[in-house]
Amino acid sequence: MAGSRLSVALDDGGLELPAVGRLAIFAPDADFDLSALAQDQLEIVQSFHPDHASYNARGYSCVTECGTDYAASLVCLPRSKRQARALIASAEAATPNGILIVDGQKVSGVESVLREMRVRVPIAGTISKSHGKLFWFKVDGCCFSDWAQPGMTVNSDGFLTVPGIFSADAVDPASALLATHLPPKLGRVVADLGAGWGYLATQILTRESVEAVHLIEAEQMALDCSRRNVEDPRAFFHWADGTSWRPSYAVDTVVMNPPFHVGRRGDPALGQSFIATAAAILGNSGHLWMVANRHLPYETALNSLFVKVEEPFGTSKFKVLHAQRPSRLKR
């Protein structure tokens, strides 16, 4: 869908891309349509592991942080406005005298981004299609340097975060609820699936009996924050996809507040895959502790993959779930 705006712009919308030089694509979803561009000219800038891995597997050149001197850059707008602004500032700085293209859905605020940018730079063209917009301009100096990300800042609970990652401003209330209901003993080896900037890991590490906590997180910016928030020799950091992470050692306890969005779509299948990972990596007497929004349908997956499942605590909004003993035979 979004790619078709790009094709229209290139076919007869007046967008002309340089024939030589590298083209950077900032933060494209795995299914973003790049077929209108020459693959060998492209550099994918993607810090979210599953999307990064998907492009890598298809032979694209991929980085997690942008380079310099691109001939053109295309920014795929994320949902977070602060993150969108930061990407535009980075793309502009990395594309001196080149073409900067911005593409986004209406729900990502592309129209207000266009309005704000229009007062600073002459927009050369716009394409409106499929509930979104694509527009572009010739970079001339740094007109958006004030949008650049300040780096990590301390949030209201005293942790380091960057804009755009989950619960950047403060501890997530569901995670705080889970932390309150974790038992004093969690075993020796614990995995924090979808660890974010590290809040749950800090709570797990208050237990002296814990010898190792593995933080598994797909978003590199969040994982980088967790490295600073969880400065403990028992912490191990993995930039990985929680749906497919399989360590070579057994884990005693999994703790998680699983993600339930894929891009902009709510998708309980993601949380269900995390439950399957927990069941696969836990030892025979392992425990899973998780929290979820009350409406999310996780019980069927839990009951099919664990011998015992209970809800030790809940509110009208959230449920804390405890599952014990993966039922290997049922898988």
Ligand X SMILES: C[S@@+](CC[C@H](N)C(=O)[O-])C[C@H]1O[C@@H](n2cnc3c(N)ncnc32)[C@H](O)[C@@H]1O
Contacts with ligand X by CB under 6 A lie at 50, 166-167, 172, 175, 194-196, 199-200, 216-219, 222, 241-243, 257, 259
Nearest CB to ligand X, comparing residues 104 and 164: 164
Quote the least distance from Cβ 49 to ligand X, whole Å.
6
List the structure tokens of 251.
């884990």
Instruction: List phi, psi (to 5°) of 45.
Output: -105, 100
Quote the least distance from Cβ 217 to ligand X, whole Å.
5
Nearest CB to ligand X, comparing residues 11 and 267: 267
List the structure tokens of 205.
């590490």
Q: Residue 23 to residues 7, 99, 303, 321: CA-CA distances in angstroms?
A: 15, 9, 48, 46
DSSP3 helix / strand / coil % (the chain, rounded to 5): 30, 30, 40
Nearest CB to ligand X, comparing residues 41 and 243: 243
Quote the least distance from Cβ 279 to ligand X, whole Å.
16
Nearest CB to ligand X, comparing residues 250 and 269: 269
Quote the least distance from Cβ 276 to ligand X, whole Å.
12
Nearest CB to ligand X, comparing residues 322 and 325: 322
Closest C-alpha to 310, from 295, 321, 325: 321
3-state secondary structure of 277: helix
Nearest CB to ligand X, comparing residues 147 and 239: 239
Q: In whole angstroms, what is the distance from residue 290 CA to residue 175 CA?
A: 9
Amino acid at 103: D
Nearest CB to ligand X, comparing residues 116 and 172: 172
List the structure tokens of 135.
């527009």
Quote the least distance from Cβ 286 to ligand X, whole Å.
19
Amino acid at 247: P
Quote the least distance from Cβ 88 to ligand X, whole Å.
21
Quote the least distance from Cβ 304 to ligand X, whole Å.
21
Q: In whole angstroms, what is the distance from residue 92 CA to residue 145 CA?
A: 8
Looking up tokens 């499929």 gives: 130
Q: Please state the separation of Cα 308 from the chain's center in Å.
A: 31
List the structure tokens of 184.
């004093």
